[in-house]
């Protein structure tokens, strides 16, 4: 699915990722945990192709192609999806218009015809129901005036509509109450598939009670310093990150 | 250019059939116009809007029935509004395309009874003359005035559309449009003042003056829309007189043309009045649009909020001058002004200038003018969903303007403007519509 090798990346000339290695196979769910400032969000942004994140070394191969060579929109069309920690509000652009443009773009890459408005509306209504948002959210501005939880559900709806092969959830649990967390987790679990992989970036173990990962990695000081199974998350919850950070020098 | 004006000045008075009871009014306008200083490039208010494009002023044709041949249906119809509308073509009322209900709701100056003549005489010109700076083209309109529209609202006026349309004719000609709106105490009204044309190359200039009096506690929703062909020229002004606790919400939309100038002046004459003055402009190709706005705060405890947004494409040019004048006794005034602009090409231009003059010491006044590129975060968000950079730019530009359209209280107007803007920004309007 995706293979990240020795990835180094800078943000505003500051080195954030310092040789990150990670390989994810189809169908796997990987959780990435770690302290503030470790580079967790940077990883998601670098993979999604955000401007201002400069890769200085290393490579990323996604479905056999050089991911770093693609524009952000090409990465999305190739099946990569980043659920934002802070989804952007875009007043004046209706959610429905945005969603259709997005789905049409991804479909066209797959050689499919764009959906007509009626078909799309039907599909969008179905998905918005699945994430437990009112239909009225389709005609509102993109994320405009949405609460934190509503924004995250809107992200999940986009993920359902685009059906990506690799989903990166960047601290999707931050700012969510328990009910919203369950809705998001159920949505993600429903999308788990032998051909779809997930990278779940989170601070807390809580989300992993609902979305059970196959692997847990600790990202500290720009590298993965420890990897393990789902039980590692519990250990981290108990001990914190200090014992691992101290050991980064010789990891 | 000056020769043209001199020509005007001599031709003006004799050229049209006037209303006898407005002779003094016409004369005052003619005198003021004759002695007015003509704008040059050094005239601050006309610095960026040269009048050289204006070669069509031809008052000798005003008042003469200009015939028209093109069918009106294609351009006069405005979905959702067309049931209640008044249509002027080349300055002449077209009763056939106007609705009976709209004809009953208004009074032509030429058909006014004694009482209505008194009301017209009481206000006509007086709202416009409250401005500190003389307006040459208002004077010209006064001088040339041979008829006008009075809308006198005593209680409630549902959305009424008044369209001034032009067709392409053999010789260049001028349309003088005049509208006087008087809302009595506690009255409520919504009007669409619309300037349009057929789709062919135009050879007219419209000189329009609108005066609005909003008495105590009355409320007006006013849309002033300019959707004419890019070759149709327009020089117009709109003057609003706010009495105690009066409320005015103006929305001014201009698509731009070879010359399109708008002077909007709101006078807070009594305490407690509120004005929301919004507008959009979206010129493209080599179009020019100019909004000069002025909010006169003469009374205490008034609020004004002004939001104008523009997008300039190609080689288009826009001018926005937003003046807020707070007089010495206008304490506790709250005044805000925001003007945001997007330039889509290196060749597009915007000249934006907020002008604050504050002579009271207990007021809150904020202003901001920006010329910006599109928001990077929003761009990345759209691109991260597979939308190409080019499409994302169009989508965000549309959204930047559409945000103001979405806030309009009348669905009929939203439904009119959205597809027009969508076409301009190449969007599928079925998706931007309300979907219920």
Share of chain A above pLDDT 70, in %: 97
How confident is the model over A81-93, as pLDDT tens digits? 999 999 999 999 9
Mean pLDDT of B185-207: 91
Percent of chain B whose pLDDT exceeds 70: 87
Q: B104: which residues sit within 8 A by CB, 6+ positions away?
A: none
Task: Look at A93 and B406 and tell me if their CB atoms are within 8 Å.
Answer: no
Helix (H) or strand (E) segment spanning residue A179: helix A178-191
Backbone angles phi, psi at B405, to 5 degrees: -65, -40
Is residue B153, in this structure, part of any structural domain at all?
yes
Q: What is the pLDDT of residues B74-111, one digit of tens each?
A: 444 454 566 788 989 888 898 888 899 999 999 999 99
Distance of CA A174 to the CA centre of its chain: 13
Report which of residues B169 and B111 the model is more confident about.
B111
Handedness of CA A82, A83, A88, A93 (dihedral sign): positive
Contact A76 B386 (CB under 8 A): yes
Report the pLDDT averaged over residues B166-171.
83
Structurally, chain B folds into a number of domains equal to 2
Q: Are residues B157 and B229 in the same domain?
A: yes
Does a structural domain hold residue B385? no
Q: Which residues in chain A have Cβ-Cβ distances shorter than 8 Å to B405?
A: 92
Q: Provide, as residue numbers in chain A, all residues whose Cβ is less than 8 Å from the Cβ of B406.
A: 91-92, 141
Per the CB < 8 A criterion, the answer to whether B298 and B132 are in contact is: no
Does residue B201 surpass a pLDDT of 90? no
Each residue's pLDDT tens digit, A174-193: 878 888 888 889 999 999 99
B119 pLDDT above the threshold of 90: yes
Of A95-99, B127-131, B427-431, the range with the lowest mean pLDDT is: B427-431
Chain A residues in contact with B309 by the CB 8 A cut-off are none
Comparing C-alpha atoms, which of B299, B233, B235, B292 is closest to residue B272? B299
Q: How far apart are CA A114 and CA A130, in angstroms?
A: 22
Mean pLDDT of chain B: 87
Domain contains B382: no
Is B385 in contact with A92 (Cβ distance < 8 A)?
no
Same domain, yes or no: B188 and B216: yes
Residues A204-215, mean pLDDT to the nearest whole number: 90
Structural contact between residues A7 and A17, judged by C-beta atoms closer than 8 angstroms:
yes
Instruction: Tell me what pLDDT residue A175 has.
Output: 79
Whether B383 is in a domain gets the answer no
Chain A CB within 8 Å of residue B430 CB: yes
On the question of pLDDT at B434 being above 50, the answer is: no
Residue A141 to residue B406, Cβ atoms within 8 A: yes
Write out the two tokens for B227.
Answer: 């959707």
The three-state secondary structure class of B280 is strand
| Orientation angle between helical segments A117-130 and A148-162, nearest 10 degrees | 130
DSSP 3-state of B79: coil
Tokens of A163: 């059906």
Residue B193 domain flag? yes
Same domain, B339 and B436: no
SS3 of residue A207 by DSSP: helix
Closest CA to A78 of A110, A111, A102: A110
> What are the residues facing B150 on neighbouring strands?
B107, B180
| Stretch 128-187 of chain B: residues touching chain A, C-beta under 8 Å | none
Chosen from A67, A94, A96, A97 to mutate, greatest number of chain B CBs within 10 A:
A97
* Residue B39 per-residue DSSP state: P
Backbone angles phi, psi at B16, to 5 degrees: -125, 160
What does the pLDDT average to over A215-224? 92
- Per-residue pLDDT band for B430 (boundaries 50, 70, 90) equals very low
Whether A228 has a pLDDT exceeding 60, the answer reads yes
Residue of higher predicted confidence among B319 and B416: B319
Please indicate if any CB of chain B lies within 8 Å of the CB of A121.
yes
B270 and B415: one domain? no
Tell me the pairing of strands A53-62 and A2-11. Answer: antiparallel
CB B322 within 8 A of CB B337: yes
Interatomic CA distance for residues B328 and B363, integer angstroms: 10
Indicate the pLDDT class of residue B308, thresholds 50, 70 and 90: very high
- On the question of pLDDT at B15 being above 60, the answer is no
pLDDT at residue B70 above 70?
A: no
* Mean pLDDT, rounded, for B130-147: 90
In whole angstroms, what separates CA A242 from the centre of its chain? 26
In a domain, B351, yes or no: yes
Q: How many residue contacts between A and B have a Cβ separation below 8 Å? A: 103
Residue B81: per-residue pLDDT = 60
Instruction: Compare A16 and B167 and report the one with higher pLDDT.
Output: A16
A116 to chain B, any CB pair closer than 8 A? The answer is no
Which residues face B370 on adjacent strands?
A: B340
Q: Classify residue B282 by burial, with Cβ atoms within 10 Å: 0-12, 13-18, 19+.
A: buried
Let me know if residue B119 belongs to a domain. yes
pLDDT value for B62: 44
Phi-psi region of B281 (alpha: psi -120 to 50; beta: other; left: phi over 0): beta
Confidence of residue B56 (pLDDT cuts 50, 70, 90): low
**Proportion of chain A above pLDDT 90, given as a percent:** 69
Place of tokens 């032509």: B108
pLDDT tens digits for range A134-151 = 999 998 999 999 998 899
Neighbours of A21 (CB within 10 A): 14
Q: How far is B313 from chain A (nearest CA, A)?
A: 19
Span between the terminal Cα atoms of chain A, in Å: 26
Per-residue DSSP letter, B357: E
- CB contact A62 to B (< 8 Å): no
Query: What pLDDT is attached to residue B58?
Result: 58
Facing residues of A59 across strands?
Answer: A5
Q: Is the pLDDT of residue A37 over 60?
A: yes
Judged against a pLDDT cut of 60, whether residue A157 lies above it is answered with yes
Residue B89 is assigned to a structural domain of this protein: yes
A92: left (phi over 0), alpha (psi -120 to 50) or beta: left
Instruction: Give A-chain residues touching B404 at CB under 8 angstroms.
Output: 92
Judged by a CB distance cut-off of 8 A, whether residue B359 touches chain A is no
* pLDDT at res. B427: 54
Query: CA dist B343 to B23, B48, B225, Å?
Result: 47, 17, 22
Q: Does A229 touch chain B (CB under 8 A)?
A: no
Does A117 reach chain B within 8 Å, measured CB to CB?
yes
* Whole-number pLDDT of residue B128: 94
Euclidean distance between the first and final Cα of chain B, in Å? 54
Residues of B in contact with A158 (CB under 8 A): 385
Q: Are residues B409 and B368 in the same domain?
A: no
For the entire predicted model, the pTM comes to: 0.84
**Cβ distance of B380 and A158 shorter than 8 Å:** no
- Would you state the pLDDT for residue A205? 83
Count of C-beta atoms within a 10 Å radius of residue A143: 23
B157/B87 same-domain check: yes
Asked if A49 and B383 come within 8 Å (Cβ–Cβ), the reply is yes
Predicted local confidence at residue B73, as pLDDT: 46
B380 in contact with chain A, both atoms CB, cutoff 8 A? yes
- Under 8 Å CB-to-CB from A85, ≥6 apart: which residues? A41, A170, A171, A172, A174
Q: Who wins on pLDDT, B348 or B168? A: B348
- Say whether both B108 and B224 belong to one domain: yes
Task: Determine the structural domain holding residue B229 and report its residue range.
Answer: 2-373
Residue B63 DSSP code: T
B159 and B49, same domain (yes or no): yes
Q: Looking at the structure, tell me whether residues B305 and B342 fall in a common domain.
A: yes
Query: Helix axis angle, B376-383 relative to B389-406, nearest 10°?
Result: 120
Q: Residues B255-299: pLDDT tens digits?
A: 889 999 999 999 999 999 999 999 999 999 999 999 999 999 999
Question: Residue B46: its pLDDT value, please?
Answer: 86
Residue B95 shares a structural domain with residue B65: yes
Q: Are residues B84 and B208 in the same domain?
A: yes
**A16-20, A206-210, B65-69, range with the lowest pLDDT:** B65-69
Indicate if B304 and B421 belong to the same structural domain.
no
């Amino acid at each position: 699915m995706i293979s990240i090798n020795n990835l180094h990346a800078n943000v505003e000339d500051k080195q954030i990722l310092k040789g990150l290695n990670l390989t994810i196979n189809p169908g796997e769910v990987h959780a990435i945990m770690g302290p503030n400032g470790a580079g967790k969000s940077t990883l998601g942004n670098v993979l999604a192709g955000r401007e201002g994140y400069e890769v200085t070394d290393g490579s990323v191969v996604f479905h056999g192609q050089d991911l770093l060579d693609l524009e952000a929109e090409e990465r999305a069309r190739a099946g990569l999806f980043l659920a934002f920690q802070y989804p952007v509000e875009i007043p004046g652009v209706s959610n429905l218009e945005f969603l259709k443009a997005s789905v049409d773009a991804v479909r066209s890459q797959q050689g499919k015809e764009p959906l007509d408005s009626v078909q799309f509306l039907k599909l969008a209504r179905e998905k918005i129901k699945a994430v437990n948002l009112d239909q009225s959210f389709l005609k509102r501005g993109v994320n405009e005036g949405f609460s934190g939880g509503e924004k995250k559900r809107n992200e999940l709806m986009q993920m359902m509509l685009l059906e990506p092969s690799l989903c990166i959830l960047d601290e999707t649990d931050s700012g969510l109450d328990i009910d919203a967390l369950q809705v998001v987790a159920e949505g993600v679990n429903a999308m788990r598939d032998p051909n779809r992989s997930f990278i779940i970036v989170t601070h807390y173990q809580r989300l992993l009670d609902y979305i059970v990962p196959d692997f847990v990695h600790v990202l500290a000081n720009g590298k993965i310093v420890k990897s393990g199974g789902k039980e590692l998350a519990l250990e981290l919850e108990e001990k914190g990150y200090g014992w691992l950070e101290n050991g980064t020098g010789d990891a | 250019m000056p020769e043209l004006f001199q020509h005007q000045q001599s031709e003006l008075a004799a050229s049209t059939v006037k209303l006898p009871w407005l002779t003094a009014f016409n004369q005052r306008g003619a005198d003021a116009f004759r002695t007015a200083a003509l704008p040059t490039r050094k005239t601050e208010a006309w610095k960026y809007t040269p009048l050289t494009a204006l070669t069509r002023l031809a008052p000798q044709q005003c008042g003469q029935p200009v015939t028209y041949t093109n069918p009106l249906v294609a351009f006069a119809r405005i979905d959702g509004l067309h049931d209640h509308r008044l249509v002027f073509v080349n300055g002449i009322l077209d009763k056939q395309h106007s609705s009976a209900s709209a004809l009953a709701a208004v009074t032509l100056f030429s058909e006014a009874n004694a009482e209505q003549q008194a009301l017209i005489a009481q206000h006509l010109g007086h709202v416009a003359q409250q401005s500190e700076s003389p307006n040459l083209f208002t004077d010209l309109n006064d001088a040339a005035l041979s008829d006008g529209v009075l809308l006198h609202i005593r209680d409630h006026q549902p959305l009424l559309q008044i369209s001034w349309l032009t067709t392409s004719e053999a010789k260049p000609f001028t349309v003088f449009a005049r509208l006087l709106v008087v809302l009595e105490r506690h009255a409520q009204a919504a009007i669409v003042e619309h300037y349009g044309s057929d789709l062919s190359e135009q050879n007219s200039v419209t000189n329009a003056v609108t005066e609005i009096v909003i008495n105590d506690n009355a409320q007006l929703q006013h849309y002033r829309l300019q959707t004419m062909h890019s070759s149709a020229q327009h020089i117009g002004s709109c003057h609003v007189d706010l009495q105690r606790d009066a409320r005015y919400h103006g929305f001014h939309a201009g698509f731009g043309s070879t010359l399109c100038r708008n002077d909007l002046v709101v006078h807070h004459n009594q305490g407690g009045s509120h004005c929301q003055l919004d507008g959009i402009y979206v010129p493209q190709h080599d179009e020019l649009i100019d909004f000069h706005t002025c909010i006169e705060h003469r009374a205490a405890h008034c609020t004004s909020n002004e939001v104008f947004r523009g997008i300039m494409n190609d080689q288009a040019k826009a001018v926005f001058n937003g003046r807020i004048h707070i007089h010495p006794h206008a304490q506790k005034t709250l005044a805000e002004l925001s003007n945001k602009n997007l330039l889509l090409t290196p060749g597009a231009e915007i000249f934006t200038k907020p002008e604050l003059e504050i002579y009271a010491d207990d007021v809150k006044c904020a202003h901001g003018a920006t010329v910006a590129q599109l928001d990077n975060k929003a761009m990345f968000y759209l691109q991260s969903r597979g939308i190409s950079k080019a499409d994302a730019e169009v989508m965000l530009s549309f959204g930047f303007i559409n945000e103001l359209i979405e806030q309009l209280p009348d669905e009929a107007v939203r439904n009119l403007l959205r597809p027009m803007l969508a076409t301009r920004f190449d969007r599928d309007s079925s998706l931007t519509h309300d979907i219920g």
